[in-house]
Amino acid sequence: MGTLIAVMRRDFTLAIRAGGGFGLPLVFFVSVIAVAPFAIGPDLVLLSRIGPALLWIAALLSTLIGLDRLFGQDAEDGSLDLLLTTPSPLALIVLAKAAAHWIATGLPLAVAAPLLGLMLNLPPETLGTVALTLLVGTPTLTLLGAVGAALTVGLKRGGLLLPVLVLPLTVPVLIFGVGATAGIAGGGGFGPSFTLLLAVMLGSLVLGPLAAAAALKASQA
Amino acid sequence: MIALANPARFSAIAEKILPWLAGATAVLFAIGLWQGFFVAPADYQQGETVRIMFIHVPSAWLSMFGWTMMSIASLGVLVWRHPLADVAAQAAAPLGAAFTLIALVTGSLWGRPMWGTWWVWDARLTSVLVLFLMYLGVMALRAALDEPSRAAKLVAILTLVGFVNIPIVKFSVDWWNTLHQGASVFRVDGPTIHPAILVPLLINALAFTLLFLTLHLLLMRTELMRRRLRGLRLRAAESGA
Amino acid sequence: MTPHTGYIIAAYAFAAVTVISLIVWSLLDHRAQRRALADLEARLGPEAAKPNRGKK
């Protein structure tokens, strides 16, 4: 347990201090949202209708952008080899690293989402829902992304491969996440979608770290 | 399975089976195409376009068959460490991708006259599209890794993750469609298939499956030679030849 | 001839082109590997085919 907390604290500290890492995903998130109306048009009715979807896509992209750092830095400086030899199960270490990564990237997005939702003219009852679904959805995205990050960790240029591998896995998260908010706006169906979103999160909470740990072992062997 | 563990023996057996398999494939395709074009009646609802089914459905079946085969082979890599498992997985990927592409394109060409649109975001089409992307992902990952033993394990892990993913995608898109209530407009509630169409369909499905197996054996043979070639070249380079 | 003949032909044509190119690619690749392997084995001599007996 001590190891896990130490790993988490270390990763979190690195995320905050290394090269303006902290807040950068958030800036990216805000930038995507800020650019979208220029492509779609300033129609506030339309924006409020597709707002939740926009926020989700932006969150998906900002989660994917930073994923290669999840194991990449550790593989470069050799600390990944150390982590592989610790007595704690590797899957739990992956979980700790994913948690640190999420606190540094996903959590700020979920917190900032209602503010951006206001700019997209979302109705008040949707604002909370978007934040809530992102709060559950972004850790799921990070966990699924951890699998992709572990698979591509040994690659010199895994940059584009990682999102290509991870995006097909994120379809259910996107559907249930946006579905829960759309259910509110459409007058029904928040509960079921949200429950399914939770189910996907719990599933990836177990399978994600296991698969990522297996991939890390295979790629360092 | 144990007798086949030796690549040389496997190649010898494959060499003997291949001509027969290829011959059976050709015969079945001849029967299947003849039945599909001249024996099967036009559907009373869909007219002649029902003939697209004879290539679309077998391809769609093979798209799933291919991934299932890769998943079993992946278990072979990770659990049983069978020496041929990775070769089987590698050979199945381009075949699966090709048949998935055929399923997508023929489905689209079938959908245009039937639904009035090239593409419908329904559960089946969407999950096949996701499956196609995952085939490309698996192939891209293998291409990016240069050490064979590492590539074998990593690709196997990705394949198994995908195996879990596809049913979830199918279910979630079904859900998504009921949410958006668009599917009922496009859904083809076809009648249960009449035997006059079912028989040609089954023959064609069998022909496609045999084609897949023939090509799979051939590609496995080729890959075994490629790996042996790589090994020999490495050894030759080491000994300074 | 029905109004949809074009779609049917297009579907069969696409499937045929894909399957045939798959077959041709498989055969060409197979032949190339076989030839390369035969060349190399001939060049290295028979002892190279056995493990761990490369020329020093």
Distances (CA, A) of A49 to A54, A136, B183: 10, 22, 20
| The pLDDT value given to residue B182 | 43
Q: Give the separation between CA B144 and CA B160, rounded to whole angstroms.
A: 19
- Say yes or no to pLDDT of B183 above 60: no
* Cα angle: B156, vertex B14, B9; to 5 degrees: 85
Q: What is the mean pLDDT of chain B?
A: 84
Q: Which residues of B touch C34 (CB under 8 A)?
A: 225
Half-sphere exposure of C24 (CA within 13 A, CB side): 6
- Say yes or no to pLDDT of C48 above 70: no
For residues B99-116, give the mean pLDDT: 87
Distances (CA, A) of C45 to A184, B96, C49: 75, 39, 8
Which chains have 3+ CB pairs within 8 A of C? B
Residue scoring higher pLDDT (B36 or A96): A96
Residue C7: which of B113, B226, B235 has the nearest Cβ? B113
What's the DSSP call for residue B34? H
Q: With cut-offs at 50, 70 and 90, classify the pLDDT of residue B101.
A: very high
- Say yes or no to pLDDT of C47 above 70: no
For B233, the token pair is: 């070249």
Element at A45 (helix H, strand E): helix A44-65
Per-domain residue ranges for chain B?
20-186+193-227
Least confident piece of the model among A149-163, B61-75, B221-235: A149-163
What's the DSSP call for residue B38? I
Identify residue B84 by its one-letter amino acid code.
Answer: L
Q: Which residues of A touch B133 (CB under 8 A)?
A: 164, 167-168
Residues above pLDDT 70, as percent of chain A: 92
Q: Give the separation between CA B24 and CA A207, rounded to whole angstroms.
A: 42
Nearest Cα residue to A40 out of A52, A55, A30, A50? A50
B163 in contact with A, Cβ within 8 Å: no
Residue B176: which of A157, A179, A207 has the nearest Cβ? A179
Distances (CA, A) of B184 to A24, A176, B48, B178: 44, 20, 23, 9
* Burial class, A188, CB count within 10 angstroms (exposed 0-12 / middle 13-18 / buried 19+): exposed
Select from B50, B62, B232 the residue whose CB has the most chain C CBs within 10 Å, as the one to mutate to test that interface: B232
ipTM: 0.85
For B37, the token pair is: 């074009």
Cβ separation B109–C14 shorter than 8 A: yes
Residue B48: which of C5, C29, C48 has the nearest Cβ? C5
CA distance A155 to chain B (A): 7
For B59, the token pair is: 């391809």
Identify residue A52 by its one-letter amino acid code.
Answer: P
Tally DSSP H helices, then E strands, for chain B. 7, 0
Q: End-to-end CA distance of chain C, in Å?
A: 72
Q: Give the separation between CA B180 and CA B123, rounded to whole angstroms.
A: 12
Identify residue B171 by its one-letter amino acid code.
Answer: F
Residue B150: which of A154, A158, A172 has the nearest Cβ? A154
| The pLDDT value given to residue A46 | 85
Note whether A158 and A152 are within 8 A (CB): yes
| The pLDDT value given to residue B187 | 46
Q: Give the separation between CA A51 and CA A1, rounded to whole angstroms.
A: 41
Note whether B114 and B53 are within 8 A (CB): no
Q: Which residues of A touch B169 (CB under 8 A)?
A: 168, 171-172
Select from C5, C17, C20, C22 the residue whose CB has the most chain B CBs within 10 Å, as the one to mutate to test that interface: C22
